[in-house]
Amino acid sequence: MKIFFLLSVLFFLTVSVNAQKDYDEAIQLIEVWLDAQKDYEKLPAIIASVTEDQDKIWSGAFGFANPDDNTQADVSTLCSICSISKLFTSVAVMKLYDEGKLRLDDKIEDLLPWYDLKQQFKDTEPITIRSILTHSSGLPRESNFSYWTGPDFAFPETEEIREELSEQETLYPSSTYFQYSNLGLTLLGEVVEEISGMPYEEYVRQNILDPLGLDNTYASLPEDKYGDELAVGYGPLKRDGSREKLKLFDAGGVQAAAGFSSTVEDLGEFGAWQLRLRDTSAVEILKPSTLKLMQRVHWTDPDWETTWGLGFAVSKGSDGTTWISHGGSCPGYRSILMVNPESKRTYAVLINANGTNPGKYATGIHAILNKIKTETGEDKKENEEETGDAIKLDDFVGYYDSSPWTNEVYIGSWGEKLVMMRLPTSSPTKAMSFYKHIEGDTFRRIRDDEELGETLEFERGEAGEIIRYKSHGNYSEKLNR
């Protein structure tokens, strides 16, 4: 029995070592895709990162942090993360919960003596910490100011929000509907100050940002870094294909809901902390059980489609796995942080423009990485026996003109195969086709049922370089890029 156990352990370790994933080709495809989308969507910049558990797999930046002076974006470029700010506020609240200084069912009116927003529904549940964290409190979305209106984006200060609170009333009965509320998380920032006895920003810095080493995350948009380290923000794409440069905003009293700035690498570290805490029994800022509590579904809307945890959005992806996330949208910036506990990956995407969807980039990167299959030594041996000496695929790699049907296609290597991606695309894996080498410069498409489909034949020029390919009897020229 002992010998069998030892052999089993040895086999497991051998398989684990041999079953490593090689991300290089997938990352090349990710970079091709993001670079193309940046151009086709006319985005000033798109910046992204992927971590797997505690290790950074990849990070990259495409475009300009400041197009006016050709300042290139990089992975340390700051952007407004807008509503991802709410996660830091939520963690701060739950740290106070861990310390026994507040309860989830504490009423907001009991915690903030000056709270006087009118409750217009007599038969209603109270507005509590829990209901605010799940956006089911019934509070209006915003405080009583028009701060999302440009061009000035005049955010109120804390005292102004307090003074106007009595002029507002609840939108719904509490614990009835999901209603996203910046006002609610703004009030929780006030709760952090009231209970801790410290300024909100100082509390978050000392208790969350510094312990996690998030040195490039701020509870503000540093004006002295604007146009250099802090990217310039742009509006949505207009009909003429241009984007308007927007004025830098200061979230003021809405800081706890929408005022933070960060980098993709810091957000990746923030996600890595969450995965680390989920797999330990040691306290790190929060108790592991508290983070798990936050990342379970606590609210399901009557439509059965909107689900929320405590501060975090918690949802089921198209692949059936759970996603823990939060997005952000502020004047000039879009952002997303997505954590997938099953794959143990964290995705962060920052874009310095509105009218785009960073979530499609996070899920698209995830889908490309999931195309990679682990290969044991035996699998590799079988593949080598089947294909013989590995063909050199570099000659075929590049961009090809596919007009008028699509703008272009990219052909890259994928193990012993070629992969074709049509550009632009919002769903990269749906735009991918794989081709098996047959002989010489001839490949055939691998169908979804693993059977072989049409032929892809490459042609060479006088110097032996690939100049075009033929598919279905038609040609696509190789582009000089």
**Gyration radius of the chain's alpha carbons:** 26
Per-residue b or e along 421-436, where b marks 16 or more CB atoms closer than 10 Å to that residue's CB:
bbbbbeebbebbbbbb
- The secondary structure of residue 67, as a DSSP letter, is G
Decide if 361 contacts 34 (C-beta within 8 A).
yes
Pairing of strands 45-52, 55-66: antiparallel
Distances 428 to 143, 339, 366 between C-alpha atoms, Å? 40, 20, 10
β-pair partners for 433: 420
Domains in the chain: ranges and CATH: 25-370 (3.40.710.10), 387-477 (2.40.128)
Write 220-224 long-range contacts (CB < 8 A, 24+): 220/250, 220/251, 220/255, 220/259, 220/260, 220/261, 221/78, 221/80, 221/248, 221/249, 221/250, 221/251, 221/259, 221/261, 222/78, 222/261, 223/248, 223/250
Tell me the C-alpha distance between 452 and 446, whole Å. Answer: 5
With beta carbons less than 8 A apart as the criterion, state whether 337 and 270 touch: yes
The pTM of this model reads 0.92
Rounded Cα distance between 76 and 229, Å, is 8
- For 27, the token pair is 């990352």
AA letter at 263: T
pLDDT in tens, the chain (481 residues): 444 333 333 333 333 333 346 899 999 999 999 999 999 999 999 999 999 999 999 999 999 999 999 999 999 999 999 999 999 999 999 999 999 999 999 999 999 999 999 999 999 999 999 999 999 999 999 999 999 999 999 999 999 999 999 999 999 999 999 999 999 999 999 999 999 999 999 999 999 999 999 999 999 999 999 999 999 999 999 999 999 999 999 999 999 999 999 999 999 999 999 999 999 999 999 999 999 999 999 999 999 999 999 999 999 998 899 999 999 999 999 999 999 999 999 999 999 999 999 999 999 999 999 999 754 444 444 444 444 456 789 999 999 999 998 899 999 999 999 999 999 999 999 999 999 999 999 999 999 999 999 999 999 999 999 999 999 999 999 999 8
Where in 263-416 does DSSP place strands (E)? 299-300, 307-308, 313-316, 322-330, 333-340, 345-351, 398-401, 408-414
3-state helix, strand and coil shares in percent for the chain, rounded to the nearest 5: 30, 25, 40
Backbone angles phi, psi at 333, to 5 degrees: -145, 145
